Amino acid sequence: MNIFDKTGKAFFNFVRYILVLFTLFYLSLKVLWTNRKLGHREFLRQVLMQIYFTGIQAILPILVLALLVGTFAIISAMGGAAFSGAEQVGRVVTVVLIRELAPLLTGSIIIARSITAITTELGTMRVQREIEALEAMGISPIHHLITPRLVGGVLSFAALTVFFGFVALISGFLIAQTMVPIPIELFVHFVFSAVQPTDIPALGIKVLGGGAGMFIIACYHGLSVRRASTEVPVAVSTAALNAFVFLIALHVGVSASMFLRSNSFELLGVVL
Amino acid sequence: MRPALVQVLDALQFCVSDTHWHVPPFHLRPGEWATLVSGDSPDLIDPSGPLIRTLFTLRSPEHGTVFLHNQDAYALPYVGQQRLRAEMGFVPSSGGLLSNRTLRDNIALPLSLHARLTFKEEALRVDEQLDRFGLRAADHMFPHEVNGYTRWRACLARALILSPSIVMLEGLGDWDIERGQGLGWQRLREYRQRQDNAILIALPSAHPEFEQWFQQQGGHIIRYRIAAELPLQGATHR
């Protein structure tokens, strides 16, 4: 097999992988309609359990990380050569912490905790033929296993990102007070004035799109386990890695498109 | 004449991993029970697995037609098949209990999804079922914490909780068969007699003692063949 064959095969495998993920995402939404006559209590229970595992149990690590990152960001902003007063602090806090770091670091914590856990759980269920048992009971595995994890996971991701941003802001403000006393009203004013109209949808795409993508990747790799329990750790590491690459790629894509919308620059003689 | 709950219209033939299953046409009416036994002595591990899965709409056959509740089971869309399965009970050889749920929650699962009951009604039904199968003392335990016979009873209790019209049991081991007079079997027999339901058991290999006992209980024996190559006589190509 020559290099072109290998490249072509890898490309088509990648396209197939993306299509399968989109199909799984579509099916996980479609079952909400096709299985609407099934009891909702069990579905709600699964969603709440996912919120508990992904959201509630991750509060402490997110709190610690947000405190550290908030402190670090403010110290960096104040110590930087470009520092030019409290306005700069507000801008740094908004741009770096809320728009970029909050979804990225929260997503990383979720990958380490929930994406690996979901892949392991589904992979083990697959090996033990529990998924077949669900099908035998007339229960769609997508409706019972994937959709609740997707809904609960995305809701938890959104809530944790807001929580991260809030804690980082508070810690940033408190640290800033020790260096340059700023009235809280002024700090809040600088933070909100630094928010661009495009920041909210950009954050929304990062959180909702990123969350949906990560949880679908986890479910896909969990369900792709076929025969042996030795496949489970391979699926877990692949899911974690792919979810992380996806999260970074989404952030780069969204940030780049925002940059292109607000700035024009010349690339290879073409004004973009 | 009562309508057949299970009917294999044509000789059912299907192939898995180069091995062909050949099942003669048969039907199963309410109040009847039958055992599918291999007529050969196949050098295969668990040949009854693919067969019972095909009859339970979990594996599509290449040839032949399976009618369940007077419907061509494989002509139905996925949601229709899902509904059909909810009306039947399946006891896989592996037990198929969900390992992250207690026995009680496992038994309650079909009820909470397919029956519109209040919490109280659901708890009552589950309690009744736990008592019927002698599982009350183990209701808070997880499947890996109990022995195989208790797991089998829990799986049977789960399969029967929605009062399905057809119950299919996959590849019982010798250990289960020897307990033919045990509590699980007793409940299965009562269930068939009380509610006029059909029960189908698939066995991986011939078991003369069980077959004799089964025929004494009024059950039918249906023999299927397994071969590397089989002529597709009388089969409808799908």
As a dihedral over the C-alpha atoms of residue A9, residue A15, residue A19, residue A20, rounded to 10 degrees, the angle is 40
A133 touches chain B (CB under 8 A): yes
**Cross-chain residue pair A34–B79, CB shorter than 8 Å:** yes
For chain A, how far is it from start to end, CA to CA, in angstroms?
Answer: 40
Q: Measured between alpha carbons, how far is A141 from A144 in angstroms, rounded to an integer?
A: 5
Instruction: Assess if residue A261 is contained within a domain.
Output: yes
H-helix or E-strand containing A45?
A: helix A40-50
Q: Given pLDDT bands bounded at 50, 70 and 90, which one contains residue B235?
A: very low
**Structure-model confidence comparison of residues B44 and B71, the more confident one:** B71
Strand-pairing partners, residue B27, are B7
Rg, chain B, Cα only: 18
Q: Cβ distance B161 to B106 under 8 Å?
A: no
Q: Given pLDDT bands bounded at 50, 70 and 90, which one contains residue B238?
A: very low
Domain count, chain A: 1
Instruction: Assess if residue A1 is contained within a domain.
Output: no
H-helix or E-strand containing B66?
A: strand B66-68
pLDDT attached to residue B203: 80
pLDDT attached to residue A84: 56
Which of B101, B113, B117, B152 to mutate to test binding with chain A, by most A CBs within 10 Å of its CB? B113
* Domain ranges across chain B: 1-87+164-238, 97-162
Lowest mean pLDDT of B34-48, B62-76, B79-93, B161-175, name the range: B34-48
pLDDT attached to residue A265: 55
Q: What is the CATH number of domain B1-87+164-238?
A: 3.40.50.300
Of all residues in chain B, the one with the smallest CA distance to A134 is: B96
Greatest CA separation for chain A: 67
Q: Cβ distance B221 to B215 under 8 Å?
A: yes
**Structure-model confidence comparison of residues B17 and B90, the more confident one:** B90
Q: Cβ distance B177 to B184 under 8 Å?
A: no
pLDDT digits (tens, 9 = 90+) for A54-83: 999 999 999 999 999 888 887 777 765 444
Closest residue to B82, CB basis, from A121, A129, A138: A138
Amino acid found at A85: G
Instruction: Assess if residue A33 is contained within a domain.
Output: yes
Lowest mean pLDDT of A153-167, B2-16, B18-32, B168-182, name the range: B168-182
Domain that residue A74 falls in: 23-271
| CB < 8 Å from B in window 30-89 of A | 34-35, 38-39, 41-42
The angle formed by the CA atoms of residues B60, B64 and B70, to the nearest 5 degrees, is: 85
Burial label, A254 (beta-carbon count in 10 A; 0-12, 13-18, 19+): buried
Q: Measured between alpha carbons, how far is B163 from B86 in angstroms, rounded to an integer?
A: 10
pLDDT attached to residue A81: 43
Chain A environment of B116 (Cβ under 8 Å): 39
pLDDT attached to residue A58: 94
Q: Which of A231, A218, A232, A248 is nearest to A111 (CA)?
A: A218
**pLDDT means per 10 residues in chain A (272 residues)?**
86 94 95 85 92 95 92 75 58 75 94 96 92 90 94 96 90 79 78 79 92 96 90 95 96 86 59 53
Q: Which of A28, A36, A149 is nearest to B116 (CA)?
A: A36
Half-sphere exposure in the Cβ direction for B187 (13 Å, CA): 23
pLDDT attached to residue B237: 42
**Cross-chain residue pair B56–A140, CB shorter than 8 Å:** no
pLDDT attached to residue A80: 57
pLDDT attached to residue A96: 75
Tally of residues, chain A: 272
pLDDT digits (tens, 9 = 90+) for B171-221: 665 555 555 667 777 788 778 776 678 888 888 777 787 788 888 878 888
Q: Cβ distance A55 to A155 under 8 Å?
A: yes
Q: Which of A136, A138, A144 is nearest to A41 (CA)?
A: A144
pLDDT attached to residue B38: 81
Q: Measured between alpha carbons, how far is B59 from B39 in angstroms, rounded to an integer?
A: 22
3-class DSSP state of B30: coil
What φ, ψ does residue B83 adopt, rounded to 5°? -65, -40
pLDDT attached to residue B37: 85
pLDDT attached to residue B175: 52
| Tokens read off for B127 | 């309690």
Residue B127 contacts by C-beta under 8 Å, 6 or more apart in sequence?
Answer: B136
Q: What's the DSSP call for residue B130?
A: H
Which of A130, A147, A226, A232 to mutate to test binding with chain B, by most B CBs within 10 Å of its CB? A130
| Tokens read off for A236 | 């877990």
- Kindly report the average pLDDT of chain B as a whole number: 83
Of all residues in chain B, the one with the smallest CA distance to A129 is: B96
Instruction: Assess if residue A74 is contained within a domain.
Output: yes
